[in-house]
Structure 1
Amino acid sequence: MSDPTGTPAPTPARGRGLHGLASRAVEDAQLARPVTALVSLALLCLMIVGGSLMPVPYVIEQPGPAIDVLGEYREQEIVVIDGVETYPTDGALMMTTVSVDGGPGYTVTPVDVLVSWFDRSRAVLPRELMFPPDQTREQTTLNNSVQMSTSQQGAVAVALDELDIDYEPVVMIAGVQAGAPAEGHLEPGDVLVGIDGQTATDVAGYQALVQGAEDGGTLPITVRRDGQETDLQVPTEVVDGTSRLGVVLAAGYEFPMDVKIAVGDIGGPSAGMIFSLSVYDELTPGALTGGHAIAGTGTIAADGTVGPIGGIRQKMVGAREADAGFFLAPRENCDQVIGYEPEGLEVVAVGSFDEALTATETIAATGGTDGLPTCEEQ
């Protein structure tokens, strides 16, 4: 039957309702699939991004700056010697450094680690190999500062030994902990003269004098600072039942001249050998390097032994990037040197200050390393 107007008759209501519901159900199902997929993809992306930004327990070593200790660092002359005749020099003696990401108070991400694994100039190491698990950023800074100051003292002593110049052993303030009672009273480099009217001959003796102080009281301490004796009243605190100042004491030296070595906030002991060479250079006529750019690394012991350090591959890269042509490497690091020498950098293996001095003088005289020991020969 047709409508009188000629319009087709409508579908019965029951059939129309069932058909509509079915159509909408199909359409909703078809729409739900891409929406679910998009939501799932977004969640996956968030998980990937979040995971890539999560800190991981690794540190990354990469090349730091190579600094000519015969020159300036941050507009400050690095080695300054007063009270004795010094001589002009030429060329460069470069201390080399490593930048470490991921130490206490800092983090690296999986992306950082992945990128570094494919970069030969970087090294990825478990954090526990370099830092105790409970060490804080402040403790790391203090340790690095103490190591730098004591290595500088030792470096000067070794250079003066080579020149037969006498000096006196002392006990010095090697570092002051942030927030400690002594902060603002004692300074790194202060030489201890006496505590509460008593003196000692070594670190253990002065530590005993501090520990014997009245709990939480103030100690009268005399120090020698910049050549002048100064009397101070220094507060203490009690930690685990023992009085303390919050300083690090170390064996040091008083020299017959004033030697200052300034390298900003760079820490650690690995520039000892280069510092010794630079002090020797400034106290002797002529340019020790012969005008060449010589870089190097290595701790220095009281007897002149050059000790191994970390990050030597990164230090060689930094040296070459600073246009050094020669590199003095501790003999005990040779297994980490072989196969990683940057092109254009001649590496000499040394085990003592005398060997480092001989190598530097040979390079100055010949412009090369012929006859000098290499890591391949060790």
Structure 2
Amino acid sequence: MPRRTATMLASLLMLIALLCAGVLIPVPYAEMSPGPTVNTLGEHGGEPVLQISGRTTYPAGGHLNMTTVRVTGSQYRMNLVEALYGWLSHDNLVVPHSTLYPDDKSPDQLNQETAEEFTQSQESAKVAALKQLDIPVGTRVVVASVVKGSPAEGALHAGDVIKAVDGVTIKEPGEVARQVTRHKPGEKVAFRVVPAKEAAAAEKEKREPKVEDTVTLTTSKASDDSRAIVGIQAGTDHTFPFTINIKLADVGGPSAGLMFALGIVDKLTPGDLTGGQFVAGTGTIDDKGKVGPIGGVEMKTVGARSKGARYFLTPKDNCAAAAKDTPAGLTLVKVDSLADALTSLEKIRKGDRAGLPQCTTG
């Protein structure tokens, strides 16, 4: 065999071997890519995303789309070829596997966390929207969680409304711990609570709770110091003067909060917030309407533009990253609060694009 032919054959075999290795060898990376985008003013899976009853609502046109990021599964292991393709792709992002799936958390724990974040984002969106419209929202302190094996296990339950501890009326979650830690480990502490089922029934029937229980617990010692504890986490729950349900399955995390809040405001006020325009966006939101940053903003802008969005409401702290590679035809609008977003939507309705606070790389 001629030397040149032998060399070419050896090179070809080497190339084939490298390609096979690239396909077979897993690498510790995961991939993020643009995910689905859903209009909060429309339907998803055959039913309205926002369902409001007990209050006058108004037709809402245009788009207020929440955006998502698609990620490879926790058990999926990319091979070298896939990783290289992802690194070279304009619309995808390859990150270390541990960035999305930390080693100290199981897939079930991560799924639970993202589900809880999504639920909390819906709750905060409702509160922020109603406060923006000056609609009263009730607040109460509840048992958020119970530690397994603690004095509270079996006696207190998640969702129980905490009215008082040792006769002291509770108005904020922090007051529960302060009352408990006044005791020494081994001493008794009395909780006056409305059971979760009774609280839920009363809210549904728009009445005051009829049942209150007194639960007496013996405190134990905290594992890290000498504090007295009972093994609960207190939190805040809200009561609303009418029913707001958000129907959206297979989505997790807190990043849709802003767009849910805007959708609720639009449904509860005459006219269209968007003026018929296609507006998408992202951002967490708290009960006061403050908008926070999210992950994967570059993927979300690509996904939004591919569906037809012309404007993208962008959390202030994500602006610099998003502006580095803005999809053609998409205007990035900087927002720091629900009020900011509403002001910008007013400018969009009026066609005042020059007056919008746009994102820059600086």
Deviation at 1:269, TM superposition (A): 0.8
Shift of the alpha carbon at 1:333? 0.9
Q: Which residue number in structure 1 is paired with residue 277 of structure 2? A: 292
Partner residue of 1:374?
358
The correspondence of residues 1-378 of structure 1 with structure 2, limited to 5 A, is: 45=17, 49=20, 52-103=23-74, 105-171=75-141, 190=159, 192=161, 201-203=171-173, 222-223=195-196, 224-225=199-200, 227-228=203-204, 250-366=235-351, 369-376=353-360
Matched residues in 2 for 1:157 and 1:169: separation? Answer: 10
Moved more, 130-139 or 281-290: 130-139
Contact 1:96 1:295 in 2 (8 A): yes
Task: Return the offset for 1:301.
Answer: 2.5
Is the alpha carbon distance of 1:112 and 1:276 closer, same or farther for their aligned partners in structure 2, counting shifts above 3 Å?
same
CA distance in 2, matches of 1:173, 1:90: 40
Contact 2:166 2:179 in 1 (8 A): no
CA displacement 1:123-169 (0-9 Å, x = unmatched): 11123334432211111111111111111111111111211111122
Amino acid at match of 1:74: G
TM-score, with structure 1 as normaliser: 0.71
Amino acid at match of 2:41: L
CA distance in 2, matches of 1:275, 1:287: 15
Q: Distance in 2 between matches of 1:231 and 1:121?
A: 56
Query: Structure 2: where are the runs of 5+ without partners?
Result: 1-5, 148-152, 187-192, 214-221, 224-228
Report the Cα offset of residue 101 of structure 1: 1.3
Q: Give me the TM-score of the superposition, normalised by structure 2.
A: 0.74
Rounded Cα–Cα distance in structure 1 between residues aligned with 2:146 and 2:108: 11
Taking the aligned partners of 1:225 and 1:50, their CA distance within structure 2 comes to 58
Tell me how many residue pairs correspond in the alignment. Answer: 324
Change (3 A) 1:358 1:286: same
Q: Distance in 1 between matches of 2:347 and 2:143?
A: 38
Give the C-alpha shift of residue 346 in structure 1. 1.6
Closer, same or farther in 2 for the Cα pair 1:253/1:96, shift >3 Å?
same
Q: Is residue 140–residue 171 contact of structure 2 (8 Å, CA) maintained in 1?
A: yes
Kindly report structure 1 stretches of 4+ aligned residues shifted beyond 6 Å. 173-177, 194-199, 205-210, 229-232, 240-245
Change (3 A) 1:88 1:336: same
* Aligned residue number for residue 7 of structure 1: none
Q: Could you give the per-residue CA deviations for residues 218-265 of structure 1, whole angstroms, max 9, x where no partner exists?
A: xx9811336356999xxxxxxx989879xx864331111111112112
CA distance in 2, matches of 1:303, 1:286: 24
Alpha-carbon contact 2:160-2:194 (below 8 Å) kept:
no
Q: CA deviation at 1:303?
A: 3.0
Shift of 1:209: 11
Paired AA for residue 312 in structure 1 = V
Cα deviation code 1:77-106 (max 9, x no counterpart):
211112221111111100000011153x34
8 Å CA contact 2:312–2:332 kept in 1: the answer is yes
Unaligned runs of 5+ in 1: 1-33, 214-219, 233-239
Code of the residue aligned with 1:125 in structure 2: it is V
Residue aligned with 1:375, SS: coil
Structure 2 Cα separation of the partners of residues 117 and 205 of structure 1: 50
- Counterpart of 1:80, as a letter, is Q
Counterpart Cα distance in 1 of 2:62 and 2:145: 33
Secondary structure class of the residue paired with 2:237 = strand
Q: 1:271: how far off?
A: 1.0
CA contact (8 A) 2:298 2:321 kept: yes
Distance in structure 1 (CA, Å) of the matches to 2:230 and 2:79: 41
Alpha-carbon distance between aligned partners in 2 of 1:312 and 1:260, rounded to the nearest angstrom = 26
- For the Cα contact (< 8 Å) 1:53–1:111, is it kept in 2? no
Q: Residue 372 of structure 1 aligns to which amino acid in structure 2?
A: L
Measured in 1, the distance between the counterparts of 2:124 and 2:332 equals 24
Report the identity percentage. 35
Is the alpha carbon distance of 1:137 and 1:356 closer, same or farther for their aligned partners in structure 2, counting shifts above 3 Å?
Answer: same
